[in-house]
Each structure stands twice: as C-alpha cells, then as structure tokens.
Amino acid sequence: MTDNEVLAIYGTPGNTNNFTQIISPFPLVIAWDKNILVQKLTCHKKIAQPLANVLKELLSTYGQQKLRELHIDYYGGLYNLRKMRGSSTRWSRHSWAIAIDLDPDRNLLREDHTTARFARPEYKPMIDIFTGTAL
C-alpha cells in the first residue's frame, strides 16, 4: 500500500481511538526480555479480526511447541508511533498498529528472500497464513 492508501484506510498515525485489543491464543515472548509473556495485543480495529484469525491459524498449524521451537512466538511489538527508519517524513506502519514484528532478533529489517529466516521452508505455512493463501 502507498502511504496515501494507508492514510485513507487507517486514518491518522497514532490515533489510539482507532485501536483495540485482541487476545493471542498462545503466549508471546517479549523478544528483548524472554522472561515476559504477553497475550493482549493492541492493534488497529480494522486488522483486529484478521490478526486474531492469523494467530489462531498459526497455533492450529504449528502447535505451541513448534511455534516456540521456530521462535514464531517471539514478539517485537505492534504499535509504535515512529517514522520509518531512514525517513524524516514517512510514518512506519507500526504507527497505525497494522504491522507486527515476530522474532525480530533473527529477522532483520534489511534481509531479503535469500537471507531472511522466515524465507526458510519451515516457515512457508506461516507466510501462507499471513498472506491469506492458507486461510
């Protein structure tokens, strides 16, 4: 989506009136503090049900033990009002709470389909779930 499309669909970045909370069907491990688990996630109202469906499908597909083994349950956040890295004008999709970071320590921003951990075959079901091809 272009920035203008995101603005038209999701409104002003950081407008918490557009946010809601969902409960993850499995605990998520805070990536920067592995001792903290969360299940309540703040996201944009327009992605709440689709995101809840994705999380349910991930649990159904992988099971909690496999989610843990693959670090799919490592959570780096959803809402963060900030500009995109390297930009002074463009808002990060996290500013609308429409982007989720999973396993951020091993899935770096500048990776591509040849280097990203999530590009490995064991993560294909996850990618299919997020893109809607598995739902």
134 pLDDT band, cuts 50/70/90, is: low
AA letter at 4: N
Number of structural domains the chain divides into: 1
Quote the domain boundaries for residue 90.
3-131
Helices within the chain (DSSP H only): 3-10, 45-69, 124-131
Half-sphere exposure (Cβ direction) of 8: Cα atoms closer than 13 Å: 5
What's the pTM?
0.91
Tell me the pLDDT tens digit for each residue of 4-55: 999 999 999 999 999 999 999 999 999 999 999 999 999 999 999 999 999 9
Q: Which residues, 6+ apart, have CB-to-CB distance to 70 below 8 Å?
A: 62, 103, 122, 123, 126
Tell me the pLDDT tens digit for each residue of 64-82: 999 999 999 999 999 999 9
Asked if pLDDT for residue 106 goes beyond 90, the answer is no
